Amino acid sequence: MIINLLLCLLIALFGAFIGVVAESHWHFRQLDFQHFTRYLLVSGSICLITIAILLFEYFSAAY
C-alpha cells in the first residue's frame, strides 16, 4: 500500500512537471512554475482515482 502511495506521488509530480513544461513551451518559451500546484492537484487526483479503480478491481476479483 505504501508503494502505491509513493508511486502515486511520483506520477503526480511527474505529471505536474510535464504540465509546467507544456504550458511554458506553448505560451512563454521559458519554465514558469506559477501553476505548478494546479497541475500537481490535477495529476495527483487522476492518479489517485486510477489507483482506487485498480485496487477495487483487484479486490473484487479476489472474491
Predicted confidence (pLDDT) per residue in 10-26, tens digit: 888 888 888 878 777 76
Alpha carbon of 3 to those of 6, 20, 34, 38, 51: distances in Å? 5, 26, 29, 24, 11
In this predicted structure, what is the pLDDT of residue 28?
A: 63
Beta carbons within 10 angstroms of residue 15's beta carbon: 18
Residue 54 pLDDT level (bands cut at 50, 70, 90): confident
Angle at 11 between CA 29 and CA 1, to 5 degrees: 165
Residues of the chain above pLDDT 70, percent: 83
For residue 43, which of 20, 14, 21 has the smallest C-alpha distance?
A: 14
pLDDT of 32 higher than 80: no
| Euclidean distance between CA atoms 8 and 45, whole angstroms | 9
